[in-house]
Amino acid sequence: MKISTKGRYALCVMVDLAEHRQEGYIALKDIASRQNISKKYLEQIVALLNRPEILKTIRGAQGGYMLARAPEAYTVAEILKIAEGSLAPIPNLDDPSEAAAAADAQLLPIWQGLYSVVNDYLEGITLQDILDRQMESYDYSI
């Protein structure tokens, strides 16, 4: 399993929106500048994420994007699944009848186990967890 640039950037966008949520709607050009990602490419990423349960949007000169929910309500798995389509290590693993045809029956339990471990791990990490870890790394108390 390999997470594509699309998946990594989708996560970057969502973390950026979580980080700047107090600022209201955030323009895509601001996210692009902060994340050092082309605005054109981010338009494609945001098109995937632009669902009412994921993002709120306002069009126009003062428009932008913001999270539809609190950062703790988004998991890394949810975001990557939107961007990547699936986190499965082999095709059709989400559908057991199709997965059996796609893999050697002897190896299917291995792929299912890997999928379970990866999915459980990523379901256990929220955007808020990422923000909290960031804050811990910036804590330079003496």
What the chain holds in terms of domains, given with CATH numbers, is 5-137 (1.10.10.10)
- Residue 142's pLDDT band (cuts 50, 70, 90): very low
Q: What is the pTM of this model?
A: 0.86
SS3 track for the chain? CCCCHHHHHHHHHHHHHHHCHHHCCECHHHHHHHHCCCHHHHHHHHHHHCCCCCEEEECCCCCEEEECCCHHHCEHHHHHHHHHCCCCCCCCCCCHHHHHHHCCCCCHHHHHHHHHHHHHHHHCCEHHHHHHHHHHHCCCCC
Q: What is the per-residue pLDDT across 96-141, written as a single tens digit (0 to 9) for each?
A: 666 566 557 778 888 889 999 999 999 999 999 999 998 776 554 4
Q: What is the per-residue pLDDT across 8-25, written as a single tens digit (0 to 9) for each?
A: 999 999 999 999 999 999
Supply the pLDDT for residue 141.
Answer: 47
